Structure formats: C-alpha cells, structure tokens
Structure 1
C-alpha cells in the first residue's frame, strides 16, 4: 500500500479487534432467552409494548452479566437495576417538561458521573441511572408512572435468575477455576523462564492479571461469607502458596537456562487438582533434580504449593489474606466510596465533564427539532464511560459500530413484519451482544444497535424511518463528547503514564529496601511486590489506551514504553536477588541497598518534575562488589536512568 494511503497507527490500533478467549455460550443462551421471552409474553397477553420495556431491562442485565462468581453476579446485575429503576422514574416524571427536563437530566448526569468513579458495580449503576433517565425523559412510557421501572427491573432480574440457576450445583466452581487458571499461567511463566525476554515479559503480565482476577473473585466472595469457610480458606491459601513460585521465576529466568519440562508440568498437575476440587492424600510431585540455587528455589516453592493443595480438613486459618492486605468489609468499602465521591477531585471533574456534555445535548435537542433526540444523550453516556478507555477512540468506534449496526437493522425493519416474527429475530440478535462484546467496543455497538432499534420500533411503530435519525443522533452525540468531553479538558489528551510510572519507580525503591532490609517480613515484601506488579499492569493498560489517541498523545505515550519495561526488569531483578540470598548468596550491605534505592528515588523525582536527568552514572563507584547479588539490579537501574537521560 502506498505510504500516503496507509492509515495512521493510532487508527489501526483503535479498529483492531481484541483477543477473545472464546464464545461465552452460557451468557449467549441467557441473552437469547431473557430478551425474547418478554416479547413472547407481551404478544400472548396483547401487551407488546410492555414486553418491549421488559426486554430493554433485560438488555441492561445482559450488558452487566460479566462476573464469573455467582455472588458477584448478584451485585453486578441486581444493584444496577435498582439505580436504573430510579433513573427511568425520574426521567418519566419530567417527560415533556422542556427546560425542567434539561436541568433534571443534567443533574442526574453529574451524580451518575461521580458515582461511576467508585468501582465496577458503581460504574454500571451510574451508567444505568443516566441511560434510563434519558430514555424516560425522551420516550412516553405506557401505563402508570410505576409500571415502566417495574417492567424494566423485572427484565434485568430475569437475566439474574437465569444466571443463578446453576448456583446450587456450581457454587464454588468459578473461584476454583480462577485459582487453577492462575497456576496454569504460572506454569507458562516457568516454561518461558530462560527463553526470549519478550515472551517472558508477556507471560509474566498474564500471571499478574490472572492473580488479580483470582484474588478479586475469591476475596469478594469471602467478604460476603459469614464466619470461617474452609473451602474459601483453602482457595486463598492456594493462591498465597503460588507467590513463592512467582518470586522464584525471575531467578530462574536470570539464570539463562530453560527449566526442565517436568517443572511446569508439575504446576499444571496442581492446577488440574485444584480445578477438580479433589484433595489428594499426599503431595506427589515428580520433579527433576535441582542443580543450582534458582532451580532449588523453584523446587522448594513447588513442594510448598503441593503441600498446601493436599490439606484436607486442617485448612490453615492463619495467613490466608490477600497479599495486598485483608479485604475490607462491605460497609467499610461503602463508606470509603461515599467519601471518595464527595471529596475526590477526579470524581467531581468527571461528573462535571459528563454533566456538561449531557446538558449541551439536552439543550440542543430542546432548541433544534431532532427526531428521537434522546439518542444523542444515550450516545454521550456510552462514549464518556470513565472505565471503558479513551473517549476519542470510543467516539470513533461508536460512529463506526452504529453504521454497521444500522445495516443489520435496516434489513430487519424492512423485511420482518411486526409481531410474532420479532421473537425469533430477537433470539438471533440478542446473543450477538455477549458474543461480540469481548472483541471490542465497536463490535458491541454494532450488536446492540439493531436490538435497540427493534425494541424502539415496537414502542414507536416507525420502521425504517428510525434509521437516519439514529445515525444522525449518534454522530451528534459523538461530536459533543469529542469537543465538550475531550478537547476542552487538557487532562484527557495528556498521557498520565509519566506520573504513574514515577510512583511505581518510588515504590520500587521501597521494595529494594524491604527486600534486603534488616527486618525480615515476608508478608510485607510479598504485598509490596504484588502492589508493584498490579500497578505496572495498570500502567500497561494506560499505555495501550494512550496508543489509540491521535498525535501528539499517542507518540508521547510510545516514548514511555522502554522505561516501563525497564522498571519491570528492575522489580524482576530485585526479586531474583532476594531468592538468591534466601538460598545461600551473600546479602548486600546497607550502603549498597541505600545507594540503589537512592538512584531509583532520584529517577522518580525527575519523572514527577517532568525534567530530564542531567547525567546517568553507568557505574556505581564503590556502591558494591561487581559480582555481588545486587549487580544485576544496579545494571537494570542504570539502564532505566539511561533511557530517561538526554540524547
């Protein structure tokens, strides 16, 4: 392709489909049943519009049906439905009220934006609060004021009911599967140790993400359990037991030679044991001989994990908290969330951004006659979602996804007669939402668009006349979000990678001091390492988001990548050095540790001040012996400082 016809890199990254693990067949089946059944009941009772409202509620339940653990599904689906009921009630009360509707919907947008910054469940709750308020203010609802929220909530709860049908038989399966997946990810990490550096780094990132997901699932369930639950204790113990293996992996990687195949195979055997839920009578691992300190560290860690996996009724109720600390109770987290909403500057800024965009949209459609004008605000609500990625890329994907969805909707509205034929059509269209959502936001939009248009046609009987207004309103919403929600806010088009990376570098300095300090506290060291890898995982996610931004943001973000990798290598080298000390190597003296930590803090200060370091010392003078245990750490620190140095 000629260079002048080659699309820019940021656009290619934006349009590239995301990797998906596979089709979530259970979610696909639930979507087909939950969204078509209300339509069938509505037709059978001659209340087709009521069935369409219940299907709209089921649509929100399908979008929120993302949790693996059954208890979390209750929160992810039921709690947002309550907020959605409040939203549609408030919106319907101001329907047709002119500027009063503009003020009320804008105020709801402010509240929605602020609570969306608390967490995942609050984010979906804020989304439904605003979405349903916009729909209620833009569409005449059939029946009394309480009927629409009741029908929409019932549709969402139908999705929840279908999701919980297997709970009595599979109550512990999602948590066990998550822990087993972590062990398999660790097995892949040991398999990659001593091989290609890029492969090892990508595999270690997968381990971090798997650990995060497993801890979140297991500990979320544990905070809801009353008293000590032996099964949960065992799962957390098994997760904690994998930490020494993860710590030993960098030492094996720095040794430069791949581990024998029997080592990762042993970890996969433990994973299969955990996934099955059976407890072996004794730990039986066929491990090869460990000839060097790194191999011995892996061997000891594996045998410890096998011992933990073989415990039956004597589950250890001590040391069973997440390596990030004991999870807070629900009331404590609720109190923290409320405090963050009221006192957080980020919460207020996002709430004001969203309120400004919604206010402009509502005011514009009040002045300019736009058919089905509520779609403008709906588009803004989806595009401005705080935890869904770049506003810019989402606006682009929203426009393209809507256009693709309209092609399908045009065929459906033109060829399918309204009535019983809508039920099988919905059974075909609804499953596309959970099937395509993992592929990316554009695919999700393309799947949702024909579903929403089909339900809107049942309520308004406009047929293909809905298509052009739908595209026009979406483009208007994207334009408002880009200008009022993106370009007018400098923080949205300046990358935050530098500040976050500076914090990670400073935390790395503390990790170096903790790893080789006078006080021996394995739990504190493990917590620091877990926090570091979790923070670096967030930085990687932020980096990927920034790459989808147009110049100059994307190019500025790309410049940070070598330093992100360098910091990860420093953490790995520190962990490997600690493993060597634990298995017989001479510990570094305090002066050497202090010097390395000081170099890292100097780098962090320079990054925070957005200043380029004037000089980087490749050697460390008399900081320590050249063959000491921290030699590799010093080399990685020097490389990181060299990356930040002027060219």
Structure 2
C-alpha cells in the first residue's frame, strides 16, 4: 500500500527535491583511498606520541579526499595538488594572525574576497579557493601545535598522501580512464539508438551529451600535457569525432516515430566493446539494409565509426576535437587571471563571500563563542557558487550537521580515545566519498563526525564540542541566508530565461550555418556541440532553481517545457541537415531566413521578462520542405512561450 501524507502535511516540492538522494554508484577505489589516507596519519601520530600532528595531517587528507573526483590520472594531479598549495598558503596566513583580534578579522575577510574571486574561474580553481579560505579559517581559529610552518607542512602532506594513493596504479592503467570514458560514450549512443522513436529518447539524448562532454574534457585535459602528437590521443579523439555523425543521424531516425531494428543499437554496443578493449581490425556489424534517408544516415555513420574505432593508426589530419584545439596551460592561466580581475561577476561573488565571512568574524570577536571557527567554515561551504543554491545548501547543511552530530556524539561518548580513534576513522572515512555523490546534505553528514573526531584529538573537549558545533552551524547558515542570499535580489531570480534566450540565438546562427551554403562541416559540428553543452548547463541550472523556495522554484518550473522545446529545435535542425546530406532537396534561402527570423524573435521575447511572452511570426511554409519538422518545433516553442 502506498503511503500518502494527510492533507495539509504534504511536504512542498522544493523540500522533497532538496532531500531526495541522487542516484550514484559507490567508487570503491576512492572509498579505500579515503580509509587509508585519513586513518594512517592518525595512527602514525598516536604511535609516535603526537596524535595532534596526526590529526592535522588527517585534516589535510580530508581536503584531498573531497577533491579526489577526477577519473584521469593527470587531472587528479591538478584536482588534488594545486588546491593543496592554496590550502598551505591559507593555513599559514591564518596561523600568523591567530589571536591578533581585529587583525585576524581583516585578514580572513581579505582572504575570503580573494577566495571568492578565484572560485569563479573553474572547477580546480573553485576547490583551490575553498581550501584557501577553509584552512585560513582553521589557522585563525584553532591554536595549532608546533611552529608556524609545521601545520602547512602536515596538512599538505596529508593531501599529497591522497594524491600518492590515487596515482599508485598510473603505470599500469595509463590511458585507461580516458579509453573507458570514450567507450562509455559509445554505450550511451547505443542506448540513444535503442530509444529512437520512443518516449525515452529525450533522456537518452541528454545522457549522450553529458557523456560526450566528459569524454572530451578528459581527453583534452590529457592532451594539454603533451607537447607533441601522441598516437593514443590521436586515436581517442578520432573515435570521439567518429561518434558525432551517429549522434547527428539519431534525430532524423527518431523523427520517423518508430524504433530502429535491434541490430542497430547492438552494433553500437559492439563498437563500445571494441573501443574499451582497444581492438583493431575489421568489425562485423551485421546491419540491416536501410530503407529510408534516416536509416541510410545511421548506417553510414555506424560503418564510418567502425572503420575509425578499430583503426590503430587513424589519419592525424582530422584528429582535432570538435571544440577546437586547447591552448597551452600558461595561456589559459593568464586569461583566467585577467577574467578574475576584470569580471564583475567575480567581484560580486567575492564581495558577497567576504561580507558573510566578515560578519561571522566580527560576531565571534564581539560575542564570546567557543571554537568559533566553525561559523566561518559553515559560511564557506554554504556560499560556494558552483555547488548549487545557497538556500538549499544552508538547509541541507543544517540537517546534515544534525545527523553528523548524532554520530559524533555516539563516538565521543562510547569510544575511548587512542587507538580506537583509528578504528573509528577507518569506518567513517569511506563514507565521505561514498555519500558525497548523493547530495550535499549527505556529504555534510559524513564529514561532520570526521572533523569533530579530529578536532577532539587537537583540543580534547569530548562531547563538549557537540552543542557549540550545532549552534555555530546554525549561526553560519543564518548569516549565509541573510547576507549572502536575501540581501542580493539576483539570488531570488532564476537565470534559466536569459541562458535559454542565448541558446535560442545560437540556434538561429546554427540554422543559418547549416543551410547557408557554408562548406565548413567542422564549424557546424562545433556549433552543434556547444549548443548541446549549453543546453546541458541550462538543465543543470534548472534543477538548481527547482530547489529554491517559492516563487523562484515555481518560476523555474514554468521554463521546463521551453527548455525541452529548444532541445527539440536543435535536434530538428540536425535531422534536416542529415536528410539533405542523404539526398533531400535543399531549402530555399528565403525559407531558411524565415525560420531564423522566428528564432531571433523568440529569443528577443524571452529576454524581455522572466514571464514568458508572446511572439507573433507567421510559421507557414512549403509542407514538403525538409524544414517542415523544424518549423513545427519552432511553432511548438512559440505556443509554449505564448500560452494566451
């Protein structure tokens, strides 16, 4: 029997979305690394009679475990080593101003400004900014043992231990994560072909976009470390580029409204197996005879992918990825530095974070709060710009802290100090990487008892830590909600509409290039890839906005049908291009211009207000044109944007 909530007690949708765990498999290797990296320093410290030194190293290992999210080995170096450098700087600054009153307040606030600004650059910079501020807060709020240079050394050593454990298998598995990612992309393409003509197609296409983005990111990150040509990278990029025609042909097949023969997705699955195994030589696909333009496109694309995927030495000329060759790391670092200094968004976020941290530091300087560094730690985690909604993170932080404190209270009450701490750490540490993918609240619940156990090793307060930590977390959440959320009107508004308008404008340009006689196929492919990547980001922004309380969440929900409609417009454009390539008549320039005008007017209407507005362009055209499905999708999008 299904359980129903009584009328009036049904939880609101935004609360259910916040509390619902995300589906994710457990990374057993990461869990094992966390177990060793967090418990080993503590064990060494206890064995040598300096448990406090071991606790500091374990704290550094905890930050390494949080950043241990990359699959590729070279990316693990960036994701773990670079943030550790910033963390060492942060704890040094904090330790130097510890106990200096208002000097410490000013110093930590200044670090918060810098941390917030660099956090807007990208994923690695975000984690680096996080550790810079977190370790600065710890150094300024805790009396660290030993000379000023010892704490940075121990904490960095703990983080580098995680990196060492993450790189142990590199000599034996070099290149395997990238190859597995490419093979996974082929498998999602097989699922897309299997979903053709069914209601599951949209979700399968989104999964393909995510997988393709991840594969390109991994391969390009590896190539950024190579100064010359690498045969393995050339082959991986060729395999990724070869999957693009299959993805382009899929919308044309889906428009037929009927599932594809089972042999077609099975052939794509065999391609995935060949890529994963690194096999070469002829591959028998056993494809059925194509019966229409869309089937011919899929057939040609699969055969082309089979030739490329099983070729040990593909042609190097077309091996560059569809997003363009990446520039050198030095050049990208210079660009990022300029963007941070000149970007209004980076200054705006840096000031928001600095305001919240400053208020927290002023509060604990005026009001005697024991071990008050926890307030600033809470603010830092809640205010991260790329970690989701500030509102939902504050809520989940409070709930996760309560759950974590229950576990911590049991541990600190029942378990005796000493070697039992190592055993407890071996049980708690794997929960951090295991629960982090489930959601922020679950991550908080896993991290809280670990931090409290290590804190107790440093200051020996036992269960006296529990109530102060709860109060500090609630105070930090309140400061973040008021000074970092409610005082900034931009926090109340969803950005889905503006980003969707940009995507519609880019779609209009894509239509122009697709049917404007431009022979540059690579440019069209890059534009289509960027469009799907942008639409994937819009979906992520949409999901974030749904966790906001009314009215923001309700406004975001109103955009969802239009998000899907724009994705279908891009699919219809790609399908029309595929049909023309397979022999269908080219649309006239006037017809293309007509569709482009419709899209640009739709984009202009979306920019005017957060409330969907009407556009009134005539949508008639030749009924037998290859663009007829595209016009129907544009008409559907306009109907959604003009409900009255």
TM-score range, shorter chain: over 0.9
* SS at structure 1 position matched to 2:121: coil
Q: Aligned partners of 2:113 and 2:604: how far apart in 1?
A: 35
Pairs within 5 Å for 1:291-306: 291-306=291-306
Tell me the residue number matched to 1:644.
641
Higher mean Cα deviation, 316-325 or 525-534?
316-325
Tell me the residue number matched to 1:9.
13
Q: Aligned partners of 1:485 and 1:320: how far apart in 2?
A: 46
CA contact (8 A) 2:614 2:641 kept: no
Tell me the residue number matched to 1:79.
82
Tell me the residue number matched to 1:288.
288
Q: Aligned partners of 2:385 and 2:327: how far apart in 1?
A: 24
Aligned-residue offset at 1:356: 0.1
Tell me the residue number matched to 1:584.
583
CA contact (8 A) 1:616 1:642 kept: no
Tell me the residue number matched to 1:24.
27
Aligned-residue offset at 1:169: 0.3
Q: Aligned partners of 2:419 and 2:151: how far apart in 1?
A: 22
TM-score, normalised with respect to structure 1 = 0.98
Q: Aligned partners of 1:304 and 1:440: how far apart in 2?
A: 40
Higher mean Cα deviation, 323-332 or 48-57?
323-332
User: Number of matched residues?
Assistant: 639
CA contact (8 A) 1:41 1:51 kept: yes
Name the CA shift for 1:99/1:275 in 2 (closer, same or farther; >3 Å): same
Q: Aligned partners of 1:524 and 1:566: how far apart in 2?
A: 24
1:548-592, Cα deviation, whole Å (9 max, x unpaired)? 000000001111111111111111111111111100111100000
Q: Aligned partners of 1:522 and 1:318: how far apart in 2?
A: 15
CA contact (8 A) 2:535 2:567 kept: yes
Tell me the residue number matched to 2:222.
221
Q: Aligned partners of 2:328 and 2:624: how far apart in 1?
A: 48
Stretches of structure 1 that go unaligned for 5 or more consecutive residues are none
CA contact (8 A) 2:137 2:376 kept: yes
Aligned-residue offset at 1:493: 1.2
Tell me the residue number matched to 2:628.
631
Tell me the residue number matched to 1:180.
183
Q: Aligned partners of 1:565 and 1:274: how far apart in 2?
A: 32
2:390 is equivalent to residue 391 of structure 1: yes
Aligned-residue offset at 1:646: 4.8
Aligned-residue offset at 1:327: 1.2
Q: Aligned partners of 1:101 and 1:171: how far apart in 2?
A: 45
Aligned-residue offset at 1:315: 2.5
Q: Aligned partners of 1:447 and 1:335: how far apart in 2?
A: 37
Q: Aligned partners of 2:336 and 2:602: how far apart in 1?
A: 33
* SS at structure 2 position matched to 1:142: coil
Aligned-residue offset at 1:615: 4.8
Tell me the residue number matched to 2:71.
68
Q: Aligned partners of 1:641 and 1:419: how far apart in 2?
A: 67
Tell me the residue number matched to 2:503.
504
Q: Aligned partners of 2:17 and 2:327: how far apart in 1?
A: 38
CA contact (8 A) 2:279 2:310 kept: no
Q: Aligned partners of 2:334 and 2:180: how far apart in 1?
A: 31
Name the CA shift for 1:11/1:43 in 2 (closer, same or farther; >3 Å): same
Aligned-residue offset at 1:542: 0.4
Q: Aligned partners of 1:48 and 1:557: how far apart in 2?
A: 50
Tell me the residue number matched to 1:401.
400
CA contact (8 A) 1:321 1:327 kept: no
Aligned-residue offset at 1:612: 5.5
2:42 is equivalent to residue 39 of structure 1: yes
2:260 is equivalent to residue 259 of structure 1: yes
Tell me the residue number matched to 2:518.
519
CA contact (8 A) 1:616 1:638 kept: no
Tell me the residue number matched to 1:115.
118
Aligned-residue offset at 1:608: 1.2
Pairs within 5 Å for 1:340-351: 340-351=339-350
2:332 is equivalent to residue 333 of structure 1: yes
Tell me the residue number matched to 2:361.
362
Tell me the residue number matched to 2:212.
211
Q: Aligned partners of 2:49 and 2:615: how far apart in 1?
A: 79
Higher mean Cα deviation, 150-159 or 281-290?
281-290
1:456-491, Cα deviation, whole Å (9 max, x unpaired)? 000000000000000000000000000000000011
Name the CA shift for 1:306/1:411 in 2 (closer, same or farther; >3 Å): same
1:122-159, Cα deviation, whole Å (9 max, x unpaired)? 00000000000000000011111100000000000000
CA root-mean-square deviation: 0.9
Pairs within 5 Å for 1:144-183: 144-183=147-186
* SS at structure 2 position matched to 1:421: helix
TM-score, normalised with respect to structure 2 = 0.98
Tell me the residue number matched to 1:268.
269
Stretches of structure 2 that go unaligned for 5 or more consecutive residues are none
Pairs within 5 Å for 1:228-239: 228-239=229-240
